[in-house]
Structure 1
Amino acid sequence: MKRILLFVATNIAIMVVLTAVLFVLSAVFGIDLAQSTGGQFNYAGTLLLAAVFGFGGAFISLAMSKWMAKRSMGAQVIERPSNSQEAWLLQTVQRLARQAGIGMPEVAIFHSPAPNAFATGASKNNALVAVSTGLLQTMSADEVEAVLGHEIGHIANGDMVTLTLIQGVVNTFVIFLARLAAFFVDRVIFRNQDGRGPGYFISWIVFEILFGVLASIVVCWFSRQREFRADAAGAHLAGRRKMIAALRRLQGGQPEPLPEQFSAFGIAGGVGQGLRHLFMTHPPLGERIRALEAADR
């Protein structure tokens, strides 16, 4: 319940901020925000609206990702190690970060019986790596090291920013094209000269859903490719044998899904066949293991 309330409150705050930014930009550049003028579609105003909400929402979410992880996941940052395990975690992350050439990320533990981990943060030198209690309890030190290497790989490869840019682009196209298509459907099919009748709003919802589904396929494809790269980084930093062993360990468990904003950068995932495969943020673990084994030949 706390996670849901936090999600709703955060999204309301983002909408308020982006709306204010939209009106400021429209005033500065003298762009009319009306959907249509004299029966003509307002390309400039609609594109500005789409870009502000498409990119703005994605980048605000990225900027808030560490704060959200700590609140929604209950991730406790290790400030001072309270035991040998926490000390080992900090030392291992510090060593791997140094190898990868990035700043030391914050290290956190979140309570979950399922083995999982994720990385998030706005930049390579301002990131967070979090592991679950289940991962620490079920994996060996070598396997945990490989998982940490995988997450450090996400940070070093700039995956958070890259996927945020991709999400911003597809969000912008979804918002813009849904309104454009709905405008023409209303004019051509429903014969409304202003293009803003009831048919527009019905079509708008339909096109938002349709284009949103197609956009998700694109984003998930990019996410799966970056997962292979993070595995390769984990193998380079911790050792290929350790990375393969960690993935095989995950094959035998039932990873608990992470919240959507962190799922693309978790270690686990990739369960689904057929059309479901198109919407997976992670390739199947078997594919990831085979890719690492093939690279070792």
Structure 2
Amino acid sequence: MKRIALFLITNIAILVVLSIVLSLLGFTGILDETGRGLDYGSLLVFAAVFGFGGSFISLAISKWMAKRLTGAKVITSPRNQAEAWLVETVKNQAARAGIGMPEVAVYDSDAPNAFATGMSKNNALVAVSTGLMRSMTQDEVEAVLAHEVSHVANGDMVTLTLIQGVVNTFVIFISRVVGYFVDRVILKNEEGLGLGFFITSIVAQIVFGILASVVVLYFSREREYRADAGGAKLAGREKMIAALEKLKRGAQEPLPEQMSAFGINGKPEGHGLKLLFMTHPPLDDRIAALKKSSFQ
């Protein structure tokens, strides 16, 4: 319930902020001066503000949101040897990867998982679950941390945000064009924007949004291969393979929906058409890719 409330409040706040931005830009609507034709320039501004704006605001608050959704506690002063080792390992890996020191956190979950998020390479968060700490050896945890540090070093969070912003913009733009066409040409509405426009736009946005998600999820899966390779480079290929093998045997409990793409372990795996809608490639495919790599 807390997660749902946080999700709703955050999205309402984003809508309010973006509406204010549109107002400051002088946006008055998507119709031209006659009130009959589409103003494609205004429509593109509307689509871009909501398409990119929502994505970048989500990125900007990603660390704050992640901490509250998972209950992750940042290690400011290590309470034990395990926490001290976590911080020191991430510090060394970050230095080797050429990024600023991320915040290091632990969150309570029986499922072995970890995630990285943040708005830039020098302003990131790396968090691991208590289940991962309990079920993995130190070498395997080191590989998981290296995987997450590689996500940060590769700029994956920003890259996915840009891709999401582009597809969001196209989805919003095209769905309104389709809605306008149905309203004017098929339903013969000649004044303003009729009910047909709004209903068709909503349906078209849902359909195009599902299709666009396939594009975003493809890049999400590709970044996992790159992060695995980066983890192998920082910690060693055998350690990375061992960590992924251990994930196969662990409890399959994904992170909250808003963060599922950021974990080292995604939702339970699918194949065929299901794979198109997965944030992560199958673990067997990731292990096979590492075995073919040249990293030692």
- In the alignment, which residue of structure 1 is the partner of 2:86? 89
Decide which moves more: 158-167 or 198-207. 198-207
Match of 2:11 in 1: 11
CA contact (8 A) 1:118 1:266 kept: yes
Q: Which residue number corresponds to residue 51 of structure 2? A: 54
| Paired AA for residue 99 in structure 1 | R
Q: Is the 8 A contact 2:35 2:192 kept in 1?
A: no
Aligned alpha-carbon RMSD (Å): 1.3
SS in 1 for 2:104: strand
Gaps of 5+ in 2: none
Report percent identity of matched pairs.
Answer: 65
The match for 2:286 among 271, 277, 288 is 288
Aligned equivalent of 2:235, options 223, 229, 238: 238
* Aligned twin of 2:29: 33
What is the CA deviation profile of residues 55-84 of structure 1, one whole-angstrom value per residue up to 9, with x for unaligned ones?
A: 010000000001111112100000000001
Give the deviation of 1:104 after TM superposition.
Answer: 0.4
Determine if the alignment matches structure 1 residue 128 to structure 2 residue 125: yes
What TM-score, normalized to structure 2?
0.96
Corresponding position of 2:150: 153
SS in 1 for 2:242: helix
Which of 252, 255, 279 pairs up with 1:255? 252
Counterparts of 2:147 and 2:171, CA distance in 1: 32
Q: Which ranges of structure 1 fall in alignment gaps of 5 or more residues?
A: none
The amino acid that maps onto 1:24 is L
Letter in 2 for 1:232: A
Q: Offset at 1:201?
A: 1.7
Contact kept? 2:93, 2:149, Cα under 8 Å = yes
Which position in structure 2 is the counterpart of 1:227? 224
Aligned to 1:171: 168
* TM alignment of 1:271-286, pairs within 5 A: 271-286=269-284
3-state SS of paired residue (1:41): coil
How many angstroms apart in 2 are the aligned matches of 1:187 and 1:254? Answer: 53
Q: How far apart are 1:191 and its partner, in Å?
A: 1.3
- Alignment CA distance shift 1:46-1:40 (3 Å): same
Of the three residues 96, 103, 116, the one matched with 1:106 is 103
Alpha-carbon distance between aligned partners in 1 of 2:220 and 2:250, rounded to the nearest angstrom: 22
7-16 or 240-249, larger mean C-alpha shift: 7-16
Q: Quick one: distance in 1 between partners of 2:236 and 2:183? A: 59
Matches of 2:237 and 2:31 in 1, distance apart? Answer: 55
- Given that 1:116 and 1:255 are in contact with CA atoms closer than 8 Å, whether structure 2 keeps it comes out as no
Measured in 1, the distance between the counterparts of 2:144 and 2:258 equals: 19
Q: CA deviation at 1:186?
A: 1.4
Deviation at 1:195, TM superposition (A): 6.3
TM-score by length of 1: 0.96
- Matches of 1:23 and 1:267, distance apart in 2: 40
Indicate the SS of the match to 2:79: coil
SS in 2 for 1:216: helix
1:187 positional shift: 1.4
Q: CA deviation at 1:34?
A: 3.6
Instruction: Give deviations 1:210-230, integer Å, cap 9, x for gaps.
Output: 110011000000111111000
Deviation at 1:185, TM superposition (A): 1.3
**Once the 2 structures are TM-superposed, how far is the Cα of residue 149 of structure 1 from its aligned partner?**
0.3
Is the Cα contact below 8 Å between 1:62 and 1:164 reproduced in 2?
yes
Residue identity matched to 1:6: L
Amino acid of the residue matched to residue 53 of structure 1?
Answer: F
Q: 1:12 to 1:38 in 2, by over 3 A?
A: closer
Partner in structure 2 of residue 24 of structure 1: 24
Distance 1:194 1:260 in 2: 41
SS of 2:259 mapped into structure 1: helix
Q: State the partner residue of 2:139.
A: 142
Q: Does the aligned pair in 2 maintain the 1:166–1:219 contact within 8 Å? A: yes
- Give the letter for the 2:24 counterpart: V
Determine the structure 2 residue equivalent to 1:75: 72
Q: Structure 1 counterpart of 2:4, which letter?
A: I
Q: Distance in 2 between matches of 1:254 and 1:215?
A: 30
The separation in 1 between residues aligned to 2:118 and 2:11, in whole angstroms, is: 18
